[in-house]
Structures are given as structure tokens and as C-alpha cells.
Amino acid sequence: MKSITAGVVAGLVLLAPLPARAVAAAVAADPVAALRAQVVPGRGVTVSLVTRTSPDGRRFATSRTDRIVGFRKGGVVETDDTTTFYSSMSSEDLKEDTLFPSLLVRVKGASYASGGELIGRVPPDKKWVRSREPLPGAADGTVDLFTPGTLRALLATASSRGSRSARGTIQASRIPGRPFDGWTEPGERVAWALWFDAEGRVTRLATATSRNAGDGRLPSIGSDQRFTGWGSRVTVQPPPEDLVIEAGELPEPASSPEQIEILP
């Protein structure tokens, strides 16, 4: 669960930039250095992510994730996500639980999930399911700016670059963290675009990939991430212990509803 200090009523309070003005000017031309300067324990950023997938170029599934990112000692990244799913698919193709937002908190080496497909499975006196193993989230299906080396790898393949933007293409296999798992094929290329503020900090990251599956289908996945509130004081907290059940104690579902067809 997220807790943002300094009397914030809604959203994040933008504090004075962490680097001094002279330092900010020095790193403005180097977004990698600007990002490194923001990874300070107790600080963070808000990410708004929209991901759109299509298994055949006609039907689309869209998810929106509002994420709070908090930085900890040693460069550890903790996150608090709220994801909502939308689709142009017919209602009979959808699982009922996709109509409900899903929550995912990753903090102190554990993952806590709530809502979504867990609705109806969690005991009435509990709300969160804890796993000691990383749980996948909707935001994992795209490029993660905070995976070490990601920003540098993208910029190394830039076809055009200015002080406030850059764009290019890169092989999916060269992106750290191996995003698009289960979607891209070996050697598949990902188009990307980045935008920066005056201090060189990333304000937006868009990516897109598509291919001809050979049977007339054009599977594609695209994402658009917006970054706001760099340098805000952020605390990502685990849910109250009395509302948590361990994943191994979770009752099995009564039935196994069919999954939405997203991946080809």
C-alpha cells in the first residue's frame, strides 16, 4: 500500500529538484545520469501506463496501470499498482473478474495481490494474498525503465536524438529484463520513443511491436508510460498483516474459467 508523506491530499507533491542547478545542467544532456540522480532512498515517481494488445490486429485489450514507484537502499525499486482492464472483445469472451481492478504491491521482498481474479477466492476476513515469489503484473508486459541498463540500451539504438526527445528501434532480446515475454520472437524489433524534461529526466516512454504471424494475423503490443513527480517523497508499505493470507493457504477456485485470448 502506498503512503506519500508531506501532507499530500491527492497525488504527489513535487519537491525541489534533488540535484543543484549546476548539477542538473551537467546531466541534462545525459538522461542516464539524470535517471541515476533520481534513484535516492525515500524518493520516487508516479507512472501512468496504458498497454494495448491485439492477438490478430482486429480485437484489442487495453489495460491502464497507475503505479507509485519508491526507491530504497541499494537501488531497490518497490511498487504499488492499480490496474484496470478494458476490451473491445465481446462480453462472452471475457472473464467476469476482468471487470474489477486488480491491485499489486511489491515491497520488502514480497508481493501482495488483491482484486481481479482473486475476487471470490479470498476469505471474507482477508483482502490480500502474499507471495514470497514475484507475482506478475500487467505492467510487466512492457519495457521497464527501472531495470538496470534499460535506458542506456534504448539510447544506444537511437536513430534520432535531441535535447528533449529521442527515438529508434531495438531488438527485443537486447532490452534488459526481457520484456514482452511470450509475445515477441527472436530478433523481433521494438520501436521506441522517449521524451525528457529540461533536466534530462524521462517524462514519457512509448513502445510498439508487431509482426506478421504468417496466417494473416498481425499480433501487436504497444505501451505508453508517463512519468510525473520525480523526486517526491514516497513510502510503499505492505498491507495490514491481519488482512493478508499466504498464497499457499488460498483455497482453490471452484472452477477454472476460460482465459481471455490475448497472446497468439
Q: CA of 24: how far to CAs of 16, 83, 150, in Å?
A: 12, 34, 21
Residues 122-137, mean pLDDT to the nearest whole number: 91
Is 167's pLDDT higher than 50? yes
pLDDT number for residue 147: 93
Is 183's pLDDT higher than 60? yes
pLDDT number for residue 88: 59
pLDDT number for residue 228: 97
pLDDT more than 90, % of the chain: 54
Structure confidence by residue, pLDDT tens digits, 45-99: 999 999 988 877 777 788 999 999 999 998 899 999 999 987 755 444 555 556 6
* Lowest-confidence pick of 6-20, 150-164, 192-206, 231-245: 6-20
Is 104's pLDDT higher than 80? yes
Is 13's pLDDT higher than 60? no
Is 158's pLDDT higher than 60? yes
Q: What is the DSSP string of the chain?
A: -EE-TTT-SSS-PPPSPSS-HHHHHHHTT-HHHHHHHH--TTEEEEEEEEEEEESSSSS-EEEEEEEEEEE-GGG-EEEEEEEEEEESS-GGGS-GGGGS-EEEEEETTEEEEEEGGGTTTS-TT--EEEESSPPP-GGGGS--TTSTTHHHHHHTTEEEE-SSEEEEEEEGGGSTT--STTT--TT-EEEEEEEE-TTS-EEEEEEEEE---SSS---EEEEEEEEEEEEEE-EE-PPPGGGEEEGGGSPPPSS-PPPP----
Mean residue pLDDT of the chain comes to 81
pTM of the model: 0.80
pLDDT band at 22; cut points 50, 70, 90: very low
Of 217 and 76, the structure prediction assigns the larger pLDDT to: 76
Structure confidence by residue, pLDDT tens digits, 107-126: 999 999 999 888 888 999 99
pLDDT band at 139; cut points 50, 70, 90: confident
pLDDT band at 1; cut points 50, 70, 90: low
First-to-last alpha carbon distance for the chain, in angstroms, is 34
